[in-house]
A and B are shown apart, each in its own frame.
Chain A
Amino acid sequence: MSAVAMEDLEAFRRRARTFVRANLRPVGSAVMTVRSRVSDEEELAAVARDREVQRMLFDAGLAGVCVPREYGGQGLTAAHQRVLNEEIAGFEFPSRIQVPTFAPCAAVLLEFGTEEQKQRHIPPMLRGEEIWMQFLSEPSGGSDVAGALTSAVRDGDGWVLSGSKVWTTGAWWSDWALCLARTDWDVAKHAGLTVFILPIHQPSIDVHRIEMLNGNREFCQEFLNEVRVPDGDRVGGVNDGWTVGTRWMFHERMSFNSPLVTFPVDAVHGVAGGASTLELARAAGRADDPRVRELIGEARALEVVWRELQHRVGVGIATGAMSSQASAVARVFHCGASMRQTTIAFDVAGAAGGAWTDDDGPLARAGTDFLMRQVSCIGGGTTEMARNVVSERVLGMPRERTLDKDVAFRDVPRSPSAKR
């Protein structure tokens, strides 16, 4: 038991409030979406500012609220993190360093990393010096993550990794990666995986940027060409990667609800809320149209329900009243809600959703946002996978039949031409 009394919530709140108001720039309610057409210079400047703000939070004793003190954190509780999320609402925050750096990457290291790995990486993460990525999805399949084809072969004291990873947001300006690789092809799919950590910027890794429908070029694909990784950078046991991977997925689903993540309570993640729909309606000169007013109300209702559902699921998981898989319930809701909100915004914009000029203000993005509508239902695991999790893990319904369970992974069919 610690002899030092834990800082109480009100004292913590006062400390957080004083720091936030004195040091951070007010931004109002930040709407985070996949931004389009931001220049590389602007993006790099934003990353640099995020690192700077993260460092300021660290110096103020507000970084890693739930991270143990021995790794540079504050050793406090999820309730303290919630207080920080309330106090930072309306101010800038290091949005690019929260997910995936703290959840799932730091969460996985804290759970499975060696003492040396934790000492080496957690404090720099908290200081904004290491931004992490997940080398998880592969071009061969996004949802079936345990079907990873990236291989890791033993070589003396280390490993040699080859393959390709994809859908890393901002890998071109990030530092380290958590990587799932196949270490044994002669056992069943889940039994031959191992997790490694590696620096992203090295000669044997090529980072390619992918252009999305809205012009955004933050998503990347990496090609690993015989990347050497010392055995000391292995996380968890050899071929025990799925034990790590299961928790990795859990922390990934927690995302912005993770107690390791700082995220302002009023920030809307990837969703156009009621206020922005009202703004859009005004820009379109339709705020008095009764049909449009109903749509504004619907967008706002979904935003409020989403906020309350996140809170409920957070409390439910923390208290054990809900299954640890219940974040998939929130995920299913969020997909449907954000699809609907994007459609509402597009309809409210009218013809400007299809063709616009530079004078159309907020209407100018409705068309490209609509093209990108499904992004929030794909990234971080598709809605269909979340529906499987809810029905099978939360409601206990029978699992889907698979053809890759009791067979060596090298014999699993991977294309129509594979012989059965």
Chain B
Amino acid sequence: MLLQLTSDQELLRETTARFLDETVPPAELRRLRDDPVGFGDAWWKRGAELGWTSLLVSEDDGGGSISGRGLVDLSLIAYEFGRRAAPGPLVASSVVAAALSSAGGPAHAPVLARLVSGDAIATWCFAEPRPNDRLGAIGLEIRRDGGDLVLSGVKRPVEAAVPASHLLVTGRTDDGSSQVLVPADTPGVTIAPMQSVDLTRRFHVVAFDRVRVPVSALVGELGRADAQVERQLQQALVLLAAESVGAMQRGFDMTVGWAFDRYSFGRPLASYQAIKHRFADLKAWLEASHAIADAAAAAVDAGAGSDEAAELASVAKAYVGDAGAEVLHDCVQIHGGIGVTFEHDLHFFLRRLTVDRALCGTPAEHRVRIAGLLERRAEAA
């Protein structure tokens, strides 16, 4: 993460780091493995008091950033989450709060206020099952019917659909995409749990069977949500990358420590050149991941939706997804057998990276997206 923080940013980061160390140590993560939700309401509300939920929300809506660059501030929190494989729907809930604040209008103000205070959480229903399981493919239909909107389709994976009070649903209408804020208890909404390698995050399949909501549930205009959806995607990509880098950093640090402490043939592992050279590669990929995650956060913060932000966000997701897996699997390899046991803590970070890599587009999908951006740029030139 950033090499130079302001003192306010450092305070924000440090406060969250301390809070997470105290409240969700590895023993607690192991306990939460069997918890149906994966985090507690009261715990999330304390996080909200530390600023987690307000950084992407305008001051008029009760939020506010630390540095004037809210997404950069939040990426510091996401990084600390990654370093501890912390529970809680930080990415999903933040993206929804940001969307309501920038595109939601007064009708959604009461929900947004509860998100900021930590009394409720919301989640984003974006990705879909086959055959629409490719980045950007949307099959869920949002149809206007008099004063109502009718939603039909299925979303998955949706993070923390339980206990979310509201679902921000991205769908398509005849002439473009639309977004609707749906109370999770609306008739026709069914939520089924999925399984995941992450120990504390819960994902769901959310089905919308002719779900009827008033037109006032729209976030933005009907059929005009493309740019807003792109902004949300870029914010999510930035936060996933920052969190992944946190997980990589922690796994790397643990493994460096292990290499100094573990002796075989009378020498520490860290004295073998075969191992040292592996660490040099890991360090290079780790620093490169820091660099690109920071650059993406700055660019999306400065202009979510711009061509440069789109490119940096996709490069971050593609690069960190690949490099992160290489780094953490190598950490497992260097640990040897203990690295693949549940008893050791290393797997928390591999689990977090693994899920983050798969969400919001695979590295391969983002590489294709980057090619499209380059092509568009070449044609414009």
- Please indicate the chain A residues that have their CB under 8 angstroms from the CB of B279 in the complex: 390-391, 395, 397
Q: Judge whether A329 and B284 touch: CB under 8 Å.
A: yes
- Tell me the B278-297 residues at the A interface (CB within 8 Å): 279-281, 283-285, 287-288, 290-292, 294-295
Q: Judge whether B284 and A301 touch: CB under 8 Å.
A: no
Q: Which of A297, A300, A313 has the most CB of B within 10 A?
A: A297
Instruction: State whether the Cβ of B172 lies closer than 8 Å to any Cβ in chain A.
Output: no
- Tell me the B347-381 residues at the A interface (CB within 8 Å): 364, 366-372, 374-375, 378
Instruction: State whether the Cβ of A46 lies closer than 8 Å to any Cβ in chain B.
Output: no
Distance in angstroms between the alpha carbons of A287 and B312 in the assembled complex = 22
- Please indicate the chain B residues that have their CB under 8 angstroms from the CB of A330 in the complex: 284, 287
- Please indicate the chain A residues that have their CB under 8 angstroms from the CB of B281 in the complex: 332, 336, 387
Q: Judge whether B374 and A301 touch: CB under 8 Å.
A: no
- Please indicate the chain B residues that have their CB under 8 angstroms from the CB of A216 in the complex: none
Q: Judge whether B370 and A274 touch: CB under 8 Å.
A: yes
**Chain A 306-327 near chain B by CB (<8 Å), digits 1 or 0:** 1011011101100101100010
Q: Smallest Cβ distance from A24 to chain B, in angstroms?
A: 20
Q: Judge whether B374 and A300 touch: CB under 8 Å.
A: yes
Q: Judge whether B370 and A301 touch: CB under 8 Å.
A: yes
Q: Judge whether A294 and B371 touch: CB under 8 Å.
A: yes
| Closest A residue to B296 using CB positions | A308
Q: Judge whether A308 and B371 touch: CB under 8 Å.
A: no
Instruction: State whether the Cβ of B277 lies closer than 8 Å to any Cβ in chain A.
Output: yes
Given contacts A294-B368, A387-B280, A397-B276, contact A305 B3 (CB under 8 A): no
- Please indicate the chain A residues that have their CB under 8 angstroms from the CB of B256 in the complex: 395
Distance in angstroms between the alpha carbons of A316 and B3 in the assembled complex = 7
Distance in angstroms between the alpha carbons of A392 and B279 in the assembled complex = 10
**Chain B 289-319 near chain A by CB (<8 Å), digits 1 or 0:** 0111011000000000000000110110011
- Please indicate the chain A residues that have their CB under 8 angstroms from the CB of B195 in the complex: none
Instruction: State whether the Cβ of B273 lies closer than 8 Å to any Cβ in chain A.
Output: yes
Instruction: State whether the Cβ of B268 lies closer than 8 Å to any Cβ in chain A.
Output: yes
Instruction: State whether the Cβ of A10 lies closer than 8 Å to any Cβ in chain B.
Output: no
- Please indicate the chain A residues that have their CB under 8 angstroms from the CB of B186 in the complex: none
Instruction: State whether the Cβ of B132 lies closer than 8 Å to any Cβ in chain A.
Output: no
Q: Judge whether A308 and B292 touch: CB under 8 Å.
A: yes
Given contacts A391-B276, A397-B279, contact A336 B284 (CB under 8 A): yes
Q: Judge whether B368 and A290 touch: CB under 8 Å.
A: yes
- Please indicate the chain A residues that have their CB under 8 angstroms from the CB of B276 in the complex: 387-388, 391-392, 395, 397
How many A-B pairs have beta carbons closer than 8 Å: the answer is 142
Instruction: State whether the Cβ of A278 lies closer than 8 Å to any Cβ in chain B.
Output: yes
Residue of B268, B283, B294, B367 touching A329 (CB-CB under 8 A): B283
Instruction: State whether the Cβ of A384 lies closer than 8 Å to any Cβ in chain B.
Output: yes
Instruction: State whether the Cβ of B213 lies closer than 8 Å to any Cβ in chain A.
Output: no
Q: Judge whether A311 and B291 touch: CB under 8 Å.
A: yes
Given contacts A297-B370, A301-B318, A308-B294, contact A390 B271 (CB under 8 A): no
Distance in angstroms between the alpha carbons of A336 and B312 in the assembled complex = 20
- Please indicate the chain A residues that have their CB under 8 angstroms from the CB of B7 in the complex: none
Instruction: State whether the Cβ of A298 lies closer than 8 Å to any Cβ in chain B.
Output: yes
Q: Judge whether A332 and B280 touch: CB under 8 Å.
A: yes
Instruction: State whether the Cβ of A304 lies closer than 8 Å to any Cβ in chain B.
Output: yes
Instruction: State whether the Cβ of A333 lies closer than 8 Å to any Cβ in chain B.
Output: yes
Q: Judge whether B4 and A321 touch: CB under 8 Å.
A: yes
Instruction: State whether the Cβ of A275 lies closer than 8 Å to any Cβ in chain B.
Output: yes
**Chain A 287-298 near chain B by CB (<8 Å), digits 1 or 0:** 100100111111
Q: Judge whether A297 and B369 touch: CB under 8 Å.
A: yes
- Please indicate the chain A residues that have their CB under 8 angstroms from the CB of B287 in the complex: 309, 312-313, 326, 329-330, 333
Instruction: State whether the Cβ of A400 lies closer than 8 Å to any Cβ in chain B.
Output: yes
Q: Judge whether B283 and A394 touch: CB under 8 Å.
A: yes
Q: Smallest Cβ distance from A402 to chain B, in angstroms?
A: 12
Q: Which of B259, B281, B287, B314 has the most CB of A within 10 A?
A: B287
Q: Judge whether B375 and A390 touch: CB under 8 Å.
A: no
Q: Smallest Cβ distance from A265 to chain B, in angstroms?
A: 13
Distance in angstroms between the alpha carbons of A328 and B276 in the assembled complex = 14
Q: Smallest Cβ distance from A284 to chain B, in angstroms?
A: 14
Q: Smallest Cβ distance from A299 to chain B, in angstroms?
A: 9
Q: Smallest Cβ distance from B188 to chain A, in angstroms?
A: 37
Q: Judge whether B371 and A333 touch: CB under 8 Å.
A: no
Q: Judge whether A300 and B4 touch: CB under 8 Å.
A: no
Given contacts A308-B295, A329-B283, A387-B281, contact A397 B369 (CB under 8 A): no
Q: Judge whether B284 and A398 touch: CB under 8 Å.
A: no
Q: List 24 A-B contacts (CB under 8 A).
A: A294-B371, A296-B371, A297-B367, A297-B368, A297-B369, A297-B371, A297-B374, A300-B311, A301-B314, A301-B366, A301-B370, A304-B315, A308-B288, A308-B292, A309-B291, A309-B292, A319-B3, A322-B3, A328-B280, A332-B284, A388-B273, A388-B277, A397-B260, A397-B279
Question: Which A residues fall within an 8 A CB radius of B?
Answer: 274-275, 278, 287, 290, 293-298, 300-302, 304-306, 308-309, 311-313, 315-316, 319, 321-322, 326, 328-330, 332-333, 336, 384, 386-392, 394-395, 397-398, 400
Given contacts A274-B371, A293-B368, 7 further A-B contacts (CB under 8 A): A294-B371, A304-B292, A304-B315, A305-B292, A306-B288, A332-B280, A398-B268
Question: Which B residues fall within an 8 A CB radius of A?
Answer: 3-4, 256, 259-260, 268, 270-271, 273, 276-277, 279-281, 283-285, 287-288, 290-292, 294-295, 311-312, 314-315, 318-319, 364, 366-372, 374-375, 378
Q: Which 5 A-B pairs have the closest CB atoms?
A: A297-B367, A391-B276, A387-B280, A297-B370, A390-B280
